[in-house]
Structure 1
């Protein structure tokens, strides 16, 4: 990802916000759909996909493996290869795409023989994948670390799966379990995958199973995901519509909370499987109102008499940890302390997000107690600051909220938002919220 060394100044809102936003497609679902289309026979059509750095890595991988990929305005056509490997050797760069980095090794391992060298960005190489390697290598010896144990780069060899039973540690990342599940139908015999029943962000695994079934898989799972059985059924190409990204939606849904006014998110699915849909309820705890307009679409409003957001909460965000930074940003505008817990694993995402947000909140005037799994945030008078995003898309978007609701903020690496929402600053501009990529100071 080319993020450059420039900065962006996000200016405070000039009055209450109003307007509507169509949220881009889900990154998580788009990348699952790409992996499933690659693993299918026939041609799949993915509509309303997210086009971002992460999803482009998935499409690049599909083409590198010999899939035919056609991209149109708002859809992607992929002719899959199933278990076949028309390109039996290749070097593929997954960049900083966490889902692709976890899904691709599994897809490759469960197919025909071949050898692929997978490289990554320096950022991704710092993130552990040892839980994935341990799970895969129980089944044979398909994965080998090329430099550092438990980290990218890696080499994956196909045709080496010899067992049909695997245990996955789901306590660090649900993506290990999702990756193994996506590939499991390609096994020659039924697969049984077990966990200890504690899977971080378990709804993402259930999302994976839902997506697999859309492509014809037969999957049975216990309620706590401690046992999952997958039949050896060939994936069928299908038409797949990607719903709005609930994680990206949080940054726009939070705008009335920090600046006043109302925003309508026109395509957010009320019954979404994405765990970050819970953010709508969190906004109501802070004192905002949320009115759904049917199965899709919600209007978020901050009542005029609410001068500061309602604090005094304890949010355990283990199940929806991608909203933790957004909730932390809102906490700076509350009328009482807010405690956030259950998100220790976000220290191992694009950056140590707990440490990074602590630094931002302190820079803008909040009093923060950093804890191993979150924060206790005591609000203060929010001030102007120059802060570091650490090249992390969620840090950039959450920090922008603080600037909009406060006195403005200067962010480095503004282009990092391209990982999940390349149009983030443009969408803000359409709502009358300005930013300046050339200003260097207050």
Structure 2
């Protein structure tokens, strides 16, 4: 499905409900599978969380998680602990190009039994669940935080818990801290000092517990971009968010001050995002190593406002649904941006060139589709394979129409 977003204007005051955080949901779904007394509210409606839920409930020998990268990492760890169960974990063609060797080797250090069905280091993988008694493992600290979180999530269920040592500078600390906070919330004891994480085993059965999942900060980033590209006085209210959020992407509220955007927390757990002034900075510089998922949104915002930017800490974007750095370079260049990328950075130079109407290729990446959508406030824009947003935000296009965007399906 290709969508035409005609040049639009946002309603001065709008209200949007955003689904629960995919990051929190997928962690808690795994913990719920290990500890069934946990009850969850505001579960993410994303494809990734649907894939996670179906996989955890499946009795099949082969489980296909399609494009769900988080599910692939978390389920690799989960099925390694399921004594007597043997499964083949597979996914889409792109998923079979995404590396998993670092996590597999870490689990094998602990005694897990995992074999590759095709190419070494990549899915599909055959997992023979067994009782794991070893409790010490070492990982490079700059790997995807999902590898680290996958190990931490199963740690309380391991007979002797887990002692995880991270070597070097740690990437995406907020995601690790989120995992540890959720473990603490269900009753696990954890410590994170210097580069060592300890998780003690939970020996007793857990009491019943109800957990409400916060809405997704990555998803609200697109509404921050929309407000930034709108006129002063534009407001969008979005629910439901916490000031003491566990999500690293909540740094949006600080980053978007650079674009004249203010965030206000309301008593009903909603936030109001307001354009209060035009930006005065000519160049925006941020290290996004702790929140790489919002890089695409920030880059497009800067381009739409005619600002320069220098974004670093982006090395994990090369192994996402697509190589997001190269994808951004290709698509923004088509619009007339002067952009350069390295293995871990992106730079856009300020330019007076008019934005050229273009058709945006999404590369089966939900964040490419949603990050470019706000540019419809500047020019008509076509989003190819727009249905890809269902991976994390199924109601995205409907919500854009609600706030004033003109969205048409192309025949």
Shorter chain as normaliser: what TM range?
over 0.9
Q: Which moved more, 1:12-21 or 1:202-211?
A: 12-21
Closer, same or farther: CA 226–28 of 1 in aligned 2, 3 Å: same
Distance 1:114 1:199 in 2: 33
Write out per-residue CA displacement over residues 32-58 of structure 1, whole angstroms, 9 at most, x where no aligned residue.
Answer: 111011011x44321111112111111
Match of 1:243 among 199, 214, 234: 214
Partner of 2:263: 290
- Matched position secondary structure for 2:67: coil
Once the two structures are TM-superposed, the CA of residue 8 in structure 1 deviates from its matched residue by 0.9
Corresponding residue for residue 361 of structure 2: 388
- 3-state SS in 1 of match to 2:264: strand
1:273 equivalent in structure 2: 246
C-alpha separation between the residues in 2 aligned to 1:258 and 1:31? 32
Match of 1:28 in 2: 23
Maintained 8 Å contact 1:189/1:232: no
- Aligned positions of 1:169-318 closer than 5 A: 169-222=140-193, 224-234=194-204, 236=206, 237-260=208-231, 261-294=234-267, 296-303=269-276, 306=278, 310-318=281-289
Residues 127/309 of structure 1: CA separation in 2 closer, same or farther (3 Å cut): farther
Q: Which residue in 2 is equivalent to 1:70?
A: none
SS for the counterpart of 2:215 is coil
**1:160/1:293 CA distance change after superposition, 3 Å:** closer
The gaps in structure 2 that reach 5 residues or longer are: none
Runs ≥4 in structure 1, deviation > 4 angstroms? Answer: none
In structure 2, relative to structure 1, the CA distance for the partners of 1:234 and 1:137 (3 Å cut) is farther
Cα deviation, residue 123, structure 1 = 1.6
- The question of whether the paired residues in 2 share the 8 Å contact of 1:251 and 1:401 is answered with yes
Please give the alpha-carbon distance, in whole angstroms, between the structure 2 residues aligned to 1:149 and 1:235. 38
Deviation at 1:335, TM superposition (A): 4.5
Does 1:400 find its partner at 2:373?
yes
Q: CA deviation digits over 1:314-361, x for unaligned, max 9?
A: 111111111100000111133542111110110110000001111111
- 1:257 touches 1:309 (CA, 8 Å); kept in 2? no
Unaligned runs of 5+ in 1: 1-5, 66-88
| 1:226 to partner: Cα distance | 2.7
Which region of structure 1 is more displaced relative to structure 2, 242-251 or 11-20?
11-20
Provide the residue aligned with 2:403 in structure 1: 431
**Partners of 2:324 and 2:366 in 1: how far apart?**
11
Report the secondary structure of 1:410's partner residue: strand
Q: Tell me: CA distance 1:192–1:435, structure 2 relative to 1, closer, same or farther (3 Å).
A: same
Counterpart CA distance in 2 for 1:91 and 1:129 is 18
Q: Aligned ranges for residues 367-382 of structure 1 at < 5 Å?
A: 367-380=338-351, 381-382=354-355
Instruction: Tell me how far 1:294 sits from its aligned partner.
Output: 4.7
Deviations 1:34-93 (A, max 9, x none): 1011011x443211111121111111112115xxxxxxxxxxxxxxxxxxxxxxx72111
Would you say 1:340 and 2:311 are equivalent positions? yes
CA contact (8 A) 1:255 1:263 kept: no
Decide whether the 8 Å contact of 1:119 with 1:153 is kept in 2: yes
Q: Number of paired residues?
A: 406
TM-score by length of 1: 0.87
Q: 2: distance between equivalents of 1:406 and 1:49? A: 34
Q: Within the alignment, does 1:358 sit opposite 2:329 as a pair?
A: yes
2:49 equivalent in structure 1: 55
Deviations 1:179-234 (A, max 9, x none): 11111111122321111153321111111111122222222221x44332332435
How far apart in 2 are the matches of 1:423 and 1:96?
Answer: 18
Moved more, 367-376 or 29-38: 367-376
Q: Compared with structure 1, are the counterparts of its residues 313 and 339 closer, same or farther at alpha carbon in structure 2 (3 Å cutoff)?
A: same
Taking a change above 3 Å as real, the CA distance of residues 128 and 235 of structure 1, as seen in their structure-2 partners, is farther
Q: What is the correspondence of 1:70-149 to structure 2 with a 5 Å cutoff?
A: 90-149=61-120
Q: Which residue of 2 aligns with 1:72?
A: none
SS in 1 for 2:241: strand
Shift of 1:167: 1.1
For residues 3-22 of structure 1, the aligned pairs below 5 Å read 6-14=1-9, 17-22=12-17
> Which range moved further: 313-322 or 152-161?
152-161
Kept in 2: contact 1:369–1:376 (CA 8 A): yes
Residues 316 and 342, structure 1, Cα contact 8 Å, conserved in 2: yes
